[in-house]
A and B are shown apart, each in its own frame.
Chain A
Amino acid sequence: AQKITQTQPGMFVQEKEAVTLDCTYDTSDQSYGLFWYKQPSSGEMIFLIYQGSYDEQNATEGRYSLNFQKARKSANLVISASQLGDSAMYFCAMRERTQGGSEKLVFGKGTKLTVNP
């Protein structure tokens, strides 16, 4: 079963408008973390925002905010005032414990965001 689901393969937004990228997750752990990364065509994974499962307030980082709804197991990324440079792939990921006691990131399939001028 998928642990991170991103249901939007592609999204379009007009420059200067806000956009929401959806992410739902599945875990039975009480302690976990959720990340959003941006991956431009160059390939690097750029950290955007992090939300811990015990954080009571939604995380914000500049134009990025995370709409965390724990009961619904959703962690949507909101980008305000979109810019042309925001066009990229966006990945939601969850930090989870491995059987060996370490941890790893589990990623969704991503959403391709295109910002139109």
Chain B
Amino acid sequence: DTGVSQDPRHKITKRGQNVTFRCDPISEHNRLYWYRQTLGQGPEFLTYFQNEAQLEKSRLLSDRFSAERPKGSFSTLEIQRTEQGDSAMYLCASSDGTGGRGYGYTFGSGTRLTVV
């Protein structure tokens, strides 16, 4: 069990470009979450997958954002036509939903996006 992996750790992009982030959850976890954390704030929920199904999307997830989890394994979060307001830390978390220590939530180290 290597935990939740996110790639890349850092991304600098020019305004208007598209970016894609990847999250590899803990293998036996069927639930996967994306959160966004802006400077000085706590993480905010973006979207939730149970296996390959995207069951919940926050209103924060504008049309420029799309997330997938093909085959219920890794997930990708794509931002099209990036804006400076998209600069944030994007955190991925996974859980098995069965409770236990920490209620099973495990976070990745995040992808820090800077839009210039």
> Taking beta carbons and an 8 Å cutoff, which residues of A are in contact with B?
4, 33, 35, 37, 42-47, 50, 91, 93, 95, 98, 100-102, 104-110
**Residue of A with least CB distance to B9:** A43
Say whether, besides A50-B101, A50-B103, A102-B56, A43 and B112 are in contact (CB < 8 Å).
Answer: yes
> Taking beta carbons and an 8 Å cutoff, which residues of B are in contact with A?
33, 35, 40-45, 48, 50, 55-56, 89, 91, 93, 101-103, 105-110, 112
CA distance A108 to B50 in the complex (A): 25
Residues of A within 8 A of B107 (CB): 37, 44-47
B42 to chain A, nearest CB (A): 3
Q: In the complex the two chains form, is A47's CB within 8 Å of B105's CB?
A: yes
Q: In the complex the two chains form, is A95's CB within 8 Å of B103's CB?
A: yes
B91 to chain A, nearest CB (A): 6
CA distance A101 to B53 in the complex (A): 14
Q: In the complex the two chains form, is A107's CB within 8 Å of B102's CB?
A: no
